[in-house]
């Protein structure tokens, strides 16, 4: 048999969540949260600016607003301006903290874990704030004064008892604020493109910029990694070629020139903007006599094999090389 006090608590919780009207501001938060998730994952919308417009409040306002709603459920504890300012400030603090926590989990800082974490946090705060409001007397519960806000906005454009200059200044200041908000959204939605470039790098067998082989034997594999990072602001097709070179150094001109250049390997793929690919690569040669391994990166177009030597290296988009000694085992 359930004790009377515990039964009373159960009934109190039941009446809180199922018998009282759900606050309008929290309802709007749920609707906005659902719309932003749809905009993130729906193929038609996730490539439009609507996705950014809907998700920005999820990052910059809603988490903090729900936390403030849970901390201050009583009307008059803090005024509306303080509530909005604290909501923005806390959101800016909450989202990075969630990201920091995800960084120490197996899921990492990726889209799906961030969406799930923010959604879970927001829902928990919504339920806590709803419960804390519901246990208060009806007249003490906080309610977002939507009608008062609308009235104040309308009053700015049609004030009474004020001079024409004051009315004009109010309208101008309001328009300036609207223009500032629209400009901020435009900068976020259409950021200025930075420098277009592609990263091209070689890593040793431990995926560090060290431990490169300096003497290789024919028929043996020397593991390393080749990395490409696309920052061209578009999908880009890349081709990586490795060539084995035999060079000769001229002591008079203090330069080296290519005597022989033989193809060794080639791979092609496409990367999206801001995508980085690190490819495991086994360096292997079939005969001796080479002293340099050349890595050439081409984007979009690759010249024919009739272009060789220095001309092919100059035709590449990026080039790297390793000085090697290729000889038989002693």
pLDDT tens string 131-140: 888 888 888 8
Cβ contacts of 323 within 8 Å, gap of 6 or more:
214, 291, 292
Distance CA 255, CA 237 (A): 34
Third-level CATH fold of 197-326: Immunoglobulin-like (2.60.40)
Count of CB atoms situated within 10 Å of the CB of 107: 12
Q: What is the mean pLDDT of residues 163-189?
A: 68
pLDDT at 181: 64
Does the pLDDT of residue 328 top 70, yes or no?
no
Structure tokens given for 238: 């890349």
User: Does pTM surpass 0.75?
Assistant: no
Does the pLDDT of residue 155 top 80, yes or no?
no
pLDDT at 209: 84
* Domain range annotation of the chain: 4-144, 197-326
Count of CB atoms situated within 10 Å of the CB of 279: 12
Distance CA 224, CA 283 (A): 7
Does the pLDDT of residue 7 top 60, yes or no?
no
pLDDT at 238: 95
**How far, CA to CA in Å, does 176 sit from each of 60, 76, 270?**
21, 30, 45
Does the pLDDT of residue 94 top 60, yes or no?
yes
pLDDT at 84: 86
Distance CA 201, CA 226 (A): 6
When pLDDT is cut at 50, 70 and 90, the band that residue 220 belongs to is: confident
Say whether 82 sits in a helix, a strand or coil.
helix
**How far, CA to CA in Å, does 144 sit from each of 84, 91, 239?**
11, 19, 58
Find which of 8-12, 14-18, 62-66 is predicted with most confidence, using mean pLDDT.
Answer: 62-66
Q: What is the mean pLDDT of residues 155-166?
A: 62
Sign of CA dihedral 152, 155, 156, 161: negative
């Amino acid at each position: 048999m359930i004790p009377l006090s515990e039964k009373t608590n159960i009934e109190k919780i039941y009446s809180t969540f199922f018998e009282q009207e759900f606050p309008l501001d929290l309802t709007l938060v749920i609707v906005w949260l659902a719309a932003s998730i749809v905009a993130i994952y729906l193929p038609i919308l996730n490539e439009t600016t609507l996705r950014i417009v809907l998700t920005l409040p999820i990052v910059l306002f809603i988490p903090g607003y729900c936390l403030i709603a849970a901390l201050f459920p009583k009307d008059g504890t803090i005024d509306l301006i303080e509530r909005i300012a604290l909501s923005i400030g806390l959101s800016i603090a909450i989202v990075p903290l969630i990201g920091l926590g995800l960084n120490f989990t197996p899921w990492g800082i990726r889209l799906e874990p961030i969406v799930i974490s923010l959604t879970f946090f927001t829902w928990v705060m919504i339920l806590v704030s709803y419960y804390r409001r519901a246990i208060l007397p009806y007249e003490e519960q906080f309610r977002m004064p939507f009608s008062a806000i609308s009235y104040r906005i309308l009053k700015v454009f049609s004030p009474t008892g004020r001079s024409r200059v004051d009315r004009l200044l109010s309208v101008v200041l309001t328009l300036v604020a609207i223009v500032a908000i629209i400009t901020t959204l435009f900068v976020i939605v259409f950021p200025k493109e930075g420098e277009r470039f592609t990263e091209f790098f070689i890593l040793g067998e431990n995926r560090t910029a060290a431990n490169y082989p300096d003497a290789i034997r024919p028929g043996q594999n020397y593991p390393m990694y080749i990395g490409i990072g696309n920052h061209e602001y578009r999908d880009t097709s890349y081709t990586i070629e490795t060539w084995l070179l035999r060079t000769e150094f001229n002591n008079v001109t203090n330069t080296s020139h290519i005597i022989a250049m033989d193809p060794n390997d080639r791979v092609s793929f496409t990367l999206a903007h801001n995508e980085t690919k690190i490819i495991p690569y086994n360096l292997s040669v079939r005969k001796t006599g080479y002293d340099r391994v050349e890595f050439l990166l081409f984007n979009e177009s690759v010249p024919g094999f009739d272009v060789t030597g220095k001309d092919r290296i100059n035709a590449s988009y990026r080039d790297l090389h390793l000085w090697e000694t290729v000889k038989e085992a002693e």
